[in-house]
A and B are shown apart, each in its own frame.
Chain A
Amino acid sequence: MYLSNAMEKPLLEFTEKGIYCAKAKVYIDPWKPVDNAIISHGHADHSRWGHKHYITHHSNVPIIKHRLGDITVAGKEWGESFTVNNVKFSLHPAGHIIGSSQIRVEHKGNVWVFTGDYKTENDGVCVSYEPVECHTFITECTFGLPAFKWTPQREVFENINQWWYENKSEGKTSVLFGYSLGKAQRLLKHLDTDIGRIYTHGAVENMTEVLRPLVDFPKTVRITKETKKQELIGNIVIAPPSAHGSTWIRKMVPYVTAAASGWMTFRGARRRRAIDKGFVLSDHCDWQGLLDCIRSTGAEKIICTHGYTEIFSRYLREQGYDARTEETQYEGESSELNTPDGEDIKIR
């Protein structure tokens, strides 16, 4: 166990610009412009515009370049360490989306890990989460409530494909909502193309094009002004949630909508959005997943950043952890369909 000097500043601090390592003068996923930023993954609440230097996993480089334009960015390998002023940093797979990393920070034997967003299940698209031993674990807890329990994705995709198949036999177009970075690729990777063709909204297609060199995805067809309504029938359309209720989607009539999100656990969540069907599928940990990950890091100090932080940290304290909450500006899996969760925020 690492004994910290009471007089010493903590290795990472929560400042108004973001999580800060004063010793290395480096920020982690900052929300205000800084000089040096290490970025966990490409969603907009974690990778913001306006930093001078970005460091991130190399598979995230094309993503943030696509989103943020001409930035100065250095790509790193998993586990490749780099030292700034005696502080050692390295990136480790978080399993959230392609290129998503946990960020490990070590100084004089004191190890902190920042998870960004993460999930335990191998989604077949990105590199799986790997537990990293540490003393202090900064974790998200978007779904940090015992009500959240994911079913294996194989079952979820069986249901999604079944739903598509049924819509097709009724002569309808299936419209499936998922964020254009991450969820959309996970969905299209596992769709059964024997049923029909996969069409994409422009935002989804653009992002998928960026990722094709990294992952093998099935063929997709971009929806353009020329796309005929008739050719969509029986096929599936992957669109960002913000497309729901837009004029763009009215072109698809007759269509059936579905959303794939952890929030679909709640009966009310689907109904409120006036979506026909909800599939529980998340790129975050469920309750048990969070607890298992925390245990596997061996950490004694836990800092909860976003999600049901108060509730989750209280539970952890009762389980004997030294757990607390810090306010950040991360949003987790947005519970609101029309709220852009990062990737759908417009690019400046």
Chain B
Amino acid sequence: MRKFAQLIKTLDSTNKTNIKVAALTEYFNMADDHDKVWTIAILSHRRPPRPVNTTLLRQWASELANIPLWLFEESYHIVGDLAETIALVVPSTSSSTDKSLTQFLEEMIILKKKSDQDKKSYLYQNWKALDYYERFVFTKLITGGFRIGVSQKLMTRALAKSTQIDEDILAYKLMGNWDPSTISFQKLILEENESDFLSKPYPFYLAYALEGEVENLGDVSKWSVEHKWDGIRCQVILRNNEIFVWSRGEELVTDKYPEFESLIDVIPNGTVIDGEILPFPKGEIGTFNDLQKRIGRKTVSRTLLKKIPVVLKAYDLLEWKGKDIREKPFMERRRLLEQLYHKSFNTTNPDMANISDRLPLYISETMHFDTWEALTEERELSREKHSEGLMLKRKDSPYLVGRKKGDWWKWKVDPLTIDAVLTYAMRGHGRRSNLFTDYTFALWNESEDGEKELVTFAKAYSGLTDAEFRKVDNWIKKNTLERFGPVRSVTPHHVFEIAFEGIAPSKRHKSGVATRFPRILRWRQDKSIHEANTLDDLKALII
């Protein structure tokens, strides 16, 4: 545990990637095999289920710190991280532990089933016995993931350096379902083991946003173009008469989308499709807002299934007849995908007349343009088509691993924007915990009695420079109207241009409108609040 805590401390105290990789590599070189497996698990978001709920953690930590619970909560709000808050407020010691990381995690797994009294004494015993940083790491293992700027990719790179195994192969080995408490380092990393690969997806190939002018990509005829659909990127795997659906977040979501079970009968074994899960209410592509109603649900009711069915929009074919075909050129993979697509309909429902019987499988149409101008015009149609913009893929590109530049680019439509008034502010979290950086914005609306009022429509906390945040923070502190716990209402005075990706009607929002990815584009110091937009202006943006 001491080594692991030291590793986390090193990772957390540098912004430099090469130092992080070096620290991880060194750790993988010297750590015990089982500690390595747990470290890989933790850094790839596979920690064991939380053994103690946070309500109890907060309560017990404030008791041990001898402070009232509200004061603990206020401190938590300012520190921004529960484990860090606990490690800071409980009495400090300078002692340390000899127990291994694996021992701690095994104890935590058992702890989950124990009584509250046992849990409390376990926590007290460790909080009292560990120094500040170990205490923080220990608590972090209980509460959640480490957000220390170490991506799975970075961890894999270090692991590759330490084991001399190819990075892409490691990425593949680390995907899917494996249990850190039973699997050995030998089996997970070192052994070659084909039978484990049944449910395994391939690492996703991700595109960077287009930089500069699209013409700079050269010869337009070398590029295949698709719309960029706004759903959940996924891989659908058919192997051994089973179907597995993986989201890009490496979550197995097969049970959430029972629609896809019907694919088992028509798609042959040994097939992996890369695609997008899209909501399909009323027989056409819906908005992300529709999909949101499905995302959180583990079990889906029949009514919801009927109201918001989902479909798979297929982009690419990664495995065909049991063979990894990612090395083949994009156009070749597409040809096979289209073949598969047409064939699957021929075997079931040749006339495709009845939509409700139709397979939930669609293909993302590829387009080919003679000029960049024509391509640019197509992009303008994106919003109407409920897409986020265009995807540009080189016709001869292989399917790579992770985010890579060069062969694939995403070219999103420009965001929608509106000028809104700052009305509430909240302290930021974590690294911004001493500044008011989380803002609520409002638009003008005429109430029933003809009064003009400001109606909240979105929250945003990114888009300003640090210097601007400091200025706004300073202004907020001097222009607070009321305080509601961590939130302050401020004098309506400042106008900000807010950008967002999508917009949809919503019953859950006071304004009646939900916006997607709202963020601050600019501080409009040139505008007075009376020049801000109205709610009707916003509603007019809904297609």
Contacts and interface: CB of A to CB of B under 8 A. Distances in A.
Interface of A: 145-149, 263, 265-272, 274, 276-278, 308, 310-311, 314-315, 318, 335-336, 338-339
B470 A147 contact: no
Contacts of B435: 335-336
Nearest to B429: A268
Contact of B84 (A267, A314, A335): A267
B15 A338 contact: no
B15 A149 contact: no
B65 A266 contact: no
Contact of B467 (A277, A278, A335, A338): A338
A269 B84 contact: no
Nearest to A329: B478
B90 to A, nearest CB: 10
B431 interface: yes
What 8 pairs across the A-B complex have the smallest Cβ distances? A268-B431, A272-B431, A335-B434, A147-B88, A268-B430, A146-B89, A311-B74, A147-B75
Interface in B47-79: 65, 67-68, 70-72, 74-75, 78-79
Interface of B: 12-15, 65, 67-68, 70-72, 74-75, 78-81, 84-85, 88-89, 92, 430-435, 466-467, 470, 483
Contacts of A318: 68
Contacts of A339: 470
Nearest to A265: B88
A89 B448 CA distance: 60
A246 B75 CA distance: 33
B71 A315 contact: yes
A266 B79 contact: yes
B433 A268 contact: yes
26 contacts: A145-B78, A146-B88, A147-B75, A147-B88, A147-B89, A148-B88, A149-B88, A149-B92, A265-B88, A266-B84, A267-B12, A267-B430, A268-B81, A268-B432, A271-B15, A272-B432, A272-B466, A276-B13, A278-B13, A308-B74, A311-B71, A311-B74, A314-B70, A318-B68, A335-B435, A338-B470
A336 B470 contact: yes
A154 to B, nearest CB: 14
Contacts of B92: 149
A146 B71 contact: yes
B431 A263 contact: no
B80 A145 contact: no
A336 B435 CA distance: 9
Q: Which of A149, A277, A336, A339 is the most central at the interface, judged by chain B CB atoms within 10 Å of its CB?
A: A336
Contacts of B78: 145, 147, 308
A147 B80 CA distance: 12
Contacts of A311: 71, 74
A146 B433 contact: no
Nearest to B431: A268
Nearest to A306: B477
B431 A269 contact: yes
B437 to A, nearest CB: 11
B89 A271 contact: no
